A and B are shown apart, each in its own frame.
Chain A
Amino acid sequence: MSISRRGFLSGLGATALACGSTEAGQHTEHSTFPIPDGRMGLLHDSTYCVGCRACEVACNRVNELPPPDQPIGDLSVFDRERRTTDTALTVVNRYRVDDVDVFRKHQCMHCNEPSCASVCLVRALVKSPEGPVLYDPDVCVGCRYCMMTCPYYALAYEYESPNPRVVRCTMCYPRIVEGQVPGCAEACPMGAITYGRRSDLLHQARERIAEHPGRYVEHVFGEHEFGGTSWLLLAGTSPSRLGLASLENASHTPLPELTKSFLSVVPLVLTLWPGLLLGFYAMTKRREEVSEAEARARVVEALLSADEETKTKLAAAAARSEKDKEKAIAQAVKKALEEQAAKGGAS
């Protein structure tokens, strides 16, 4: 037993080390998304938006999606709030704010620190240096954890397909790498969507607020929310009244940060637990050995205190037991000492 235990010990140590090093890798590699200077973005100024849905039409065309359920001129689409789906990567919704219609375009925000990409267990989602968050269906396992975590409810899934994909706005990645403007920004007749470097757009947004103080609330939505997003929103009212109620006072901490404390406990458990548990096991083992020896001693005592006749009869046996008992105790003590020494040497 003791040999196999030792053999096991080294095996376990190696496993723990192996797991530990995998675990350790993640902090340096993935959980922060570097922010290169050239990162692009889009600004939606809802005060210019009239709800014509030209952006939806353009999005449908450049992404080669099936025609929408309702004809584009049908104004009844605004009667209920819509969300993005696997066939509509962007939607414009109407909100009634103080008796005025306000329109807001919704789509994947292309977060600076996307929770979707950080939780993907096969890295099917990645933040590109240009800004868009990209998706690779060929590695995606379809766990939909990304959909669970996106605070903007921006991801959709092909539930009707036997080989489903996660579907979302790509920020027209194929177009922007060729130097073109995203479909929606190009199509907007009101100039409500501006495409450019994110840093320039932020600058512009602040200028607009400064120039028309009555027109806007002093908040560029997407500047800081969960570490910021590529899409920015300007509005004349609080975003919480534009279908973003769950994000009122959204924290500036990137969502992936929230899992770091847990992940940092992992190597701790991997290194501490084996030692602790083996310690418990050793204690149990020793307790058992000592109590075994004591039990034998009691048998011998009982024999000794038996009546004379039995005593003589069993005298020889008792003598033998006595010897055994001494040996057992001596052995137990010796083993205990050895273990103590081994432990002391190790620590």
Chain B
Amino acid sequence: MSATTTIAKRWVTPFNVFAAVVFAVGLPLVYLRWFHGLGSVTNLSHDVPWGFWIGFDVMAGVALAAGGYVMATAVHLFGMKEYEPVVRPAILTGFLGYVLVIIGVGFDLGRPWNAPHMLLQPGLASILFLVGLHVGLYCTTQFVEISPALFEWLGWKRWRKIAVSITVGATIFGVILSTLHQSALGAMLLITPTKLHPLWYSPFIGLFFFVSSVAAGLAMVTFEGMLSHRYMGHRVGIDHERLDRITLGLAKASAITLGAYFAIKMVGVAHGNTWRYLGTGMGVWFLVEVVGFVLVPCVLFAVAHRERRPRLARFAAFVTVVGIVVNRLNVSVIAFNWQVRPEHGYFPAWSELWISVLLVTTGIIIYRWIVGRMPILDNHPDWGSIH
């Protein structure tokens, strides 16, 4: 009796109950999607072929998984050793993020089993081909980057040594791939000048996506540091003070990146001479995005850094993350098809959202499983630094 209660206590946590509900409702939806077509669970239409799955699971997902390459560059290439404790969690989140993105794409593709044709007869003029190829390669690269943790856990010394020795190489390869596919995701919209709202359409859209992905990556690392400290505290190898120092350092970097991003967004408006749209409803929404979700967190980060207020920095990181999601949804869904009449418009079905939640929940479960076992948040004393 008492044994069962302890087990029950261990398993009946709020998160597990939440996950159970998500899966209980979600799995039948997954069945529907695969056996009765996309129309059975989504509100996609002939006019709106890309909806929440592409906007959130893919576009936002890839940006928010940018922490891996951003932190690996800072530490392994620029030698910013003080950030070493957050590199592994960042790469792990990045890796899992990309795995989820690939699964998300799989859900959205009508005929994913034809995917091998991508290599057999590649459409080389397609920016989506570039994205697909690079996301695949990058996911593999991130696996290599995170593999030392796996080998430490397994105790495979020889393998770990090999994996560590190619860290710098993998990092550089990862940065190249990331630069390209982060910007390529935005550049995919270059071919739709009549369909994407002029405030969002810009020849610089690739650059916008790349710069904002750096901001997204930094914000996610900040945010994740806090979450794992709060919920996985027993595994975290660094104390609060050190985490705060890291947070403030990231805040400075975030302020600079967001400032630059805001500036080029304005250059975009000036270049396209789209000022006149700012007075319209879409214009207000555009201002909400670039002021409320870019300029405001930029200032908050700067204040947090100057006044040494890590909690403010974490709040700013949260705002930034929401802002990136808003931007990616705007570009691919909300500001897209802006001239299509409202009755042909799109709002995601609850089942569409539910499947996205199912994906994210799966990601969190895998993250917790790995972090609870492998040396991700702490450094195993036997192994030392990667350098």
Contact = CB atoms under 8 A, between A and B. Distances in A.
Given A122-B121, A157-B46, A277-B77, A141 B111 contact: yes
Given A245-B339, A262-B187, A269-B180, A142 B123 contact: no
Contacts of B49: 144, 147-148, 155, 157
Given A164-B111, A277-B77, A261 B203 contact: yes
A163 B42 CA distance: 16
B381 interface: no
Contacts of B193: 251, 255, 258
Given A12-B169, A137-B111, A251-B193, 16 more contacts: A29-B124, A119-B123, A119-B191, A121-B126, A122-B117, A123-B123, A151-B192, A153-B340, A159-B45, A164-B110, A255-B191, A259-B127, A269-B176, A269-B179, A281-B77, A287-B79
Contacts of B50: 144, 148
B190 interface: yes
Interface stretch (B128-136, B235-243, B314-322): B128-136
Interface stretch (B33-41, B152-160, B361-369): B33-41
A266 to B, nearest CB: 6
Interface stretch (A1-9, A62-70, A193-201, A312-320): A1-9
A296 interface: no
B180 A141 contact: no
Q: Count chain A CB atoms within 10 A of each CB in B38, B49, B125, B173 and give the residue with the most.
A: B125
B267 interface: no
Interface residues of B, number: 67
Nearest to A147: B49
A162 B36 contact: yes
Given A119-B127, A144-B110, A157-B110, A284 B173 contact: no
Interface string B58-83: 00000000000000010011110000
B353 interface: no
A145 B117 CA distance: 16
A137 B110 CA distance: 11
B263 interface: no
A143 interface: yes
A262 B127 contact: yes
Between A26, A156, A287, the greatest number of chain B beta carbons within 10 A of the residue's beta carbon is seen for A26
B204 to A, nearest CB: 10
A165 B109 CA distance: 11
B166 interface: yes
Contact of B44 (A123, A139, A159): A159
A273 B37 contact: no
Contacts of B195: 148-149, 151, 246
29 contacts: A8-B168, A9-B169, A11-B169, A12-B173, A22-B124, A121-B128, A122-B118, A122-B121, A139-B117, A142-B110, A142-B114, A143-B110, A144-B110, A145-B128, A148-B192, A157-B44, A157-B46, A157-B49, A159-B45, A160-B40, A246-B194, A246-B195, A256-B191, A259-B125, A259-B187, A262-B187, A263-B127, A274-B172, A284-B79
Interface of B: 34-40, 42, 44-47, 49-50, 73, 76-79, 108-112, 114-115, 117-118, 120-130, 132, 165-166, 168-169, 172-173, 175-176, 179-180, 183-184, 187-188, 190-195, 203, 206, 336, 339-341, 344
Contacts of B183: 262
Contacts of B122: 22, 121-123
A304 B202 CA distance: 65
Interface in A284-302: 284-285, 287-288
B192 to A, nearest CB: 6
Contacts of B108: 143
A159 B10 CA distance: 43
A83 B48 CA distance: 12
A256 B118 CA distance: 19
Contact of A4 (B47, B127, B166, B194): B166
Contacts of B187: 259, 262
A163 to B, nearest CB: 7
Contacts of A153: 46-47, 340
A123 B194 contact: no
A258 B190 contact: yes
Nearest to A143: B109
A26 B129 CA distance: 11
A138 interface: yes
A160 B40 CA distance: 7
B117 A5 contact: no
Interface centre among B110, B128, B188 (most CB of A within 10 A): B110
A264 B227 CA distance: 41
A118 B175 contact: no
Does more than half of chain B's interface fall in helix, strand or loop, or is it mixed? helix
Contact of B47 (A83, A86, A141, A287): A83
Q: How large is the interface on A (under 10, 10 to 19, 20 to 34, 35 or more residues)?
A: 35 or more
Nearest to B73: A277
A123 to B, nearest CB: 5
A15 B138 CA distance: 13
A139 B113 CA distance: 9
Given A22-B124, A121-B129, A262 B112 contact: no
Contacts of A86: 46
Contacts of B47: 83, 153
B125 A270 contact: no
A265 B191 CA distance: 16
A16 B173 CA distance: 9
B176 A273 contact: yes
B232 to A, nearest CB: 31
Contacts of B129: 121
Interface string A199-215: 00000000000000000
Contact of A159 (B39, B126, B168, B173): B39
Contacts of B37: 158-162, 164
Contacts of A252: none
A25 interface: yes
A321 interface: no
Nearest to B38: A159
Interface string A113-131: 0010011111110000000
Contacts of B79: 284-285, 287-288
A69 to B, nearest CB: 15
A212 to B, nearest CB: 30
Contacts of B125: 26, 29-31, 118-119, 256, 259, 263
A266 B180 contact: yes
Contact of B115 (A16, A23, A138, A141): A141
